[in-house]
Every structure is written in C-alpha cells, then in structure tokens.
Structure 1
C-alpha cells in the first residue's frame, strides 16, 4: 500500500489547502456542499443513511465530477465523514 504524500489531496493528489481534512480547494468546497446537502436529502427521503445518500449522489447524472469523486471517496473512506 502506497503512503500518501502529506501535501496532496486525499481525493485527487493536488496540493492541499484544508490540512485537517487533507483536501485541495476544489474538494474542500465540494465536501462542505455534500455535507450541507445530506440533511436536506435525509428530510426529503425520510430515513436515509449516509452511504445511501452518497450512492444516490454518485448515480445521479446531474452530479458534477468533483461531487461524484468526493462521494466515491467517502463511500470508500466512511471515517472521513465527520
């Protein structure tokens, strides 16, 4: 298993700007937006687990590339959902 460079985004490998999260500027912004969307989706769908939310987000054709990358990353690394 490769050790990730501490200066690289955990999702795409670009230079990080959010050190605690280990994310680049793009993925840091997308992470915030995905987190903000979850309570809205959960309220709309009733009981929706984080994993179900992320899987639905990935499946939507309207989901942007960065949001899809973030959702896939969070599915693979659920401990990163804080």
Structure 2
C-alpha cells in the first residue's frame, strides 16, 4: 500500500510503498482509509515541528480522516493508533 511518509524531522513527505498494518488488539477496528486530511496541525506534528511531536521517524503523515470497515460502515477517525511507523 502507498502512503505519505515523513522520513526525518523537517523534511517534506514522500509517497512510498509501506507494509500493510496489523490489528494490535481484539477491540481495534481496521479501516480502509478513503481520505486523510493534512491540516496545518497534522503537517506540523508529522514533520516534528509541533510541540506535541515526537522524534520517532519514519512515520505516515496525517492525524485524521475517513475510513470504511470490511462490513461497509464508514467512520471518522482522529488520532487512532499511535502514528503508524514505517519499518
């Protein structure tokens, strides 16, 4: 799958192929992301320039969006699983 990935602090994102995510717990919901917003805040957090950022890179950019479950239900998500780390 492809994603917008930030590889280091302050460096603009790149589109690259990443590993498929896995479900981390029984109560987690896996969504097929249909749209993700790259707002000013999410851009700052993703690039490591916001006070709430961490220094763990590479990571997929974005904090919120809309996704669909396997059963077809649609969900809005905000700050779901800790930022998906790219290995």
Using the size of structure 2 for normalisation, the TM-score is 0.24
Query: TM (normalized to structure 1)?
Result: 0.24
Q: Identify the structure with bigger relative contact order (alpha carbons < 8 Å, sequence gap 6+).
A: 2
